[in-house]
Structure formats: C-alpha cells, structure tokens
Amino acid sequence: MLISIVAPCYNEEDVIARFHDAAQKIAEELLPLGHDMEFVYVDDGSGDRTLGELQRLAELDARVRYVSFSRNFGKEAALLAGLRHASGDAVIVMDADLQHPPELIHRMVELHAQGHDQVIAKRTRTGDRFTRTVTARLYYRLINRLVDVELVDGVGDFRLLSRRVVDAILDLTEYNRFSKGLFAWVGFPSTTFEYDNATRAHGSSSWNFRSLLNYGLDGLLSFNNRPLRAALHLGMALLLCTGLYTAWIVGAALINGVETPGYVTIITAVTAAAAMQMIMLGIIGEYTGRIYYEVKGRPHFLVKATNVKRTQDQAPCGSQATKDLIT
C-alpha cells in the first residue's frame, strides 16, 4: 500500500526538516510491513525559507513532492492542493508543526487495515488556555444544533483517508471550504481515537481571536441556510411583539388620552430593531458573498513552483489530454 503524507506548511522553515525526519523514521518502520510512503508538502506562500527547505528535502529524498503557492491562500486551499497531488491508496493529513505526533501513523494504518475509511485522531485539550477550552465547548454545542453534519470538539484535520474518501472530497469543488465539515459530510466508515495535545514545536500559531471567530462563522454558514431561516423566525417573532405592543399603546391612548413620556421605550425599541435588522442583513449578505465567490469560479490556489508533474485532471482546457478525452 502506498501511503501519502499531506502537510500544509506556512512559515515552517524551522520545523519542516524535523517533521520530515520524524515522518521518514515512520516510513522506514512501515516498509517491512509492505507499506511505501510519499510526502506531499504544500508551501502556502510562506514568507520565510520554507520553499528552499522543501526543495532541499526533495533533492535528498525522491519521495518528497512539493507544491508552492504564489501567495498565502490559507490552510484549506493548501489541504486541497495536497489531496490533489497525493497518489497514495491512503492519505494522512497532518500539520507540519509537529503538533500532530507522527508516531500515531502506525495506529492509523492499523485501524485502516481493519476496514475504516477514515481514521480520525481526536486531541484532548490538555495545555490549552481555559478560555479557549470553554469557548470551544460552547461553540460545538451551538454548531451541532445548527449544521447537518456532526462536528466534534478536538477533531481536526489530522486523519487518515482512504482513496475513495479522498476522491469524494476532491469531487466537492466549492470555493468556501470548511474541511472539518467536508470530511464529516462525505461519511464512509470512520473511527476515532484520542491523543494528548502537544504544544507547537516552534514559532506561534497563526490563529488569533478574530480568525477563530471567522472560522467559527464559516462553519455555521457553510452547511445550510438555517441561519437565514432563524432570521426569518426572529423577524416574525419581533413583528408579533411589535403588533401587541402597538395595540397596547393605542388602546391606552384611546382610554387615557396621549401621554408624552416614553422616550426610553422608543429609543430601546428603535435601537433593538435596528440591531436585529443589521444582523439579518449581515446573514443574508454572508450567503450572497458566498454565492459571489462560487459564481466567479476562480481556482482555489495558484502554483508558483512544484516538482510534481501536471496530472491529467489539471491540464488546461484545450490541451492534448482534454482533446483526447473529448474525441
């Protein structure tokens, strides 16, 4: 069996060689069991010497394939590129910063041999900041009520995928990619095992509060139009309240005559209604924005340098390969 390791790398010049050493060691251990390994590294437009490091590794080790983006397209795009360029019967997706312990590959391959198409490594939250743990918990509770697929806290991109899962993922061509959800969406027999969270080997995480918030919103909005429906429900509930309240004021005015006070009520009602409308508009805008990006149909990433030969499905339109297919 050929196993591909897919690792997105963004400014990982300090760790990538160490990562490769560790992965190579695992490859050697798997060889007697009849498993070959290839490494697909995707340089996501790093500003440091990551690409140079990858080229050096490729010269030393013929099993290394690298793809380097023309700029930073984000981890989701890097993952997609990695999956496209991986040719293995099974693909293991993992971070290049050594937070996903390479030793776990053995376990994954074993579980895959038992017939699981997706072998998912679930990290515990040891060593995480308390606030992050709590927000994550709350977030997953909320999101699982809203989206159609089941998302689990601690489950990320670290997993083994069988060839048919990889092909299924590659068939999902949407521009706004939320991998966690896509993996859950394709299904197939899956199994999960836990491992202890490791801290980053070098450098710092590229996540901050804002990017986490946006990632969370992506998760909410990528799967269905329930937030739109919720906005509609909220609007209707608000309309009902307004109707009752109006009836109450008009009734009171008819019976008692017009009372002038009411400044507080008016201001509260106006601002609350305005805020509600802004949120609803925002939700609609988010979906429209998504449609806008999908309709443009732009590629997910552009490649600046690679040692992988173009595969047929990526050949430009009108190339000989495509013509052969048509005729």
SS3 82: helix
Task: Between 5 and 231, name the residue whose CB sits nearer to ligand UDP.
Answer: 5
Please check whether residue 82 is in contact with residue 309, taking contact to mean a CB–CB distance below 8 angstroms: no
We find the least distance from the C-beta atom of residue 11 to ligand UDP, in angstroms, to be: 7
We find the least distance from the C-beta atom of residue 209 to Mg ion, in angstroms, to be: 16
* Burial status of residue 323 (CB atoms within 10 A of its CB: 0-12, 13-18, 19 or more): exposed
Examine residue 181 and tell whether it contacts ligand UDP (CB under 6 A).
no
Q: Find tokens 């710092």 and name the residue.
A: 204
Q: Which residues bind Mg ion (CB under 5 A)?
A: 95, 97, 99
Euclidean distance between CA atoms 192 and 170, whole angstroms:
22
We find the least distance from the C-beta atom of residue 226 to ligand UDP, in angstroms, to be: 26
Examine residue 95 and tell whether it contacts ligand UDP (CB under 6 A).
yes
> Of Mg ion, ligand UDP, none, which one sits near residue 225, judging by CB under 5 to 8 A according to partner kind?
none
Euclidean distance between CA atoms 26 and 37, whole angstroms:
9
92 membership: H or E segment, kind and range: strand 90-93
SS3 121: strand
Radius of gyration of the chain (CA): 25
We find the least distance from the C-beta atom of residue 140 to ligand UDP, in angstroms, to be: 15
Task: Between 38 and 76, name the residue whose CB sits nearer to ligand UDP.
Answer: 76
- Beta pairing partners, 4: 38, 91
Query: In the set 106, 134, 193, 207, which binds ligand UDP (CB under 6 A)?
Result: 207
Examine residue 176 and tell whether it contacts ligand UDP (CB under 6 A).
no
Residues 6-45 touching ligand UDP, rule: CB under 6 A, are: 8-10, 12, 44
> Of Mg ion, ligand UDP, none, which one sits near residue 87, judging by CB under 5 to 8 A according to partner kind?
none
We find the least distance from the C-beta atom of residue 221 to Mg ion, in angstroms, to be: 24
Euclidean distance between CA atoms 32 and 197, whole angstroms:
29
How many angstroms separate the most distant Cα atoms in the chain?
93
The residues binding ligand UDP (CB under 6 A) are 8-10, 12, 44, 72, 74-75, 78, 95-97, 99, 205-207
